[in-house]
């Protein structure tokens, strides 16, 4: 399966994919795109010999135009699965339609709790004792797509976002590659009676 990764930041989840699944189990990371031309994730991709491109909001009058250009580039590279790994932009409906059930995201919270851009801050403000990571399909909402994998961790004494993220990053780096492996081997499907329920064949 040819995989593309969209990332806005440092790209640690991209690195986990490069280290754990790239070139294995039928998975090839063939493209990395970003909304920031100086994103360190792009450097990681280049070092791995993966094609890169940046699609800046300033270069396109509207988000759909940017997403159309990005989708054209990805499809031209033979991409079959799109992975959002710290990509801080919403994707247009048109983009998602061009990759039906083939866009996934990793989120540092146990969805449906704490969607959005500041999930760890929101969870700390709420006073939760259990944090976690979700890998889910992307739909037209904000972190609202069907859940593929989740893992929780108890942090009853957590006080600051940095310390929570330090505990969550290793979980992200395990769950995201695992989800890609499962999708690549066709082990992920939807319950015919309830498309919100994702079925995993182990």
Separation CA 19–CA 8 (nearest Å)? 19
CB 71, CB 95: distance < 8 Å: yes
CB 96, CB 19: distance < 8 Å: no
Burial letters 18-30, b for 16+ CB under 10 A, else e: bebbbeeeebbbb
Which of 67, 66, 148 minimizes the C-alpha distance to 104?
Answer: 148
179: exposed, middle or buried (Cβ count in 10 Å: 0-12, 13-18, 19+): buried
Which of 89, 178, 93, 100 minimizes the C-alpha distance to 133?
Answer: 178
- Given the residues 22, 107, 136, 173, the one annotated as active site: 107
Q: Count CB-CB contacts under 10 A for residue 83.
A: 28
**Would you call 136 a catalytic residue per the annotation?**
no
The residues that are catalytic are 107
């Amino acid at each position: 399966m040819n995989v593309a990764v969209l990332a806005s930041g440092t790209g640690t989840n991209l690195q986990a994919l490069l280290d754990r699944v790239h070139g294995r189990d039928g998975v090839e990371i063939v493209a990395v795109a970003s909304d920031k031309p100086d994103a360190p994730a792009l450097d990681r991709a280049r070092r791995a010999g993966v094609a890169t491109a940046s699609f800046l909001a300033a270069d396109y009058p509207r988000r759909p135009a940017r997403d159309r250009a990005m989708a054209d580039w990805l499809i031209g590279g033979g991409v079959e699965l799109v992975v959002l790994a710290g990509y801080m932009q919403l994707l247009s409906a048109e983009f998602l339609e061009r990759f039906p059930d083939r866009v996934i995201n990793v989120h540092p919270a146990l969805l449906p709790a704490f969607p959005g851009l500041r999930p760890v801050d929101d969870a700390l403000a709420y006073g939760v004792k259990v944090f976690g990571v979700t890998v889910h399909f992307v739909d037209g909402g904000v972190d609202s797509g069907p859940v593929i994998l989740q893992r929780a961790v108890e942090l009853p004494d957590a006080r600051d976002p940095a310390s929570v993220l330090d505990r969550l990053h290793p979980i992200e780096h395990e769950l995201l590659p695992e989800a890609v492996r499962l999708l690549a081997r066709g082990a992920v499907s939807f319950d015919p009676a309830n498309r919100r329920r994702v079925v995993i064949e182990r």
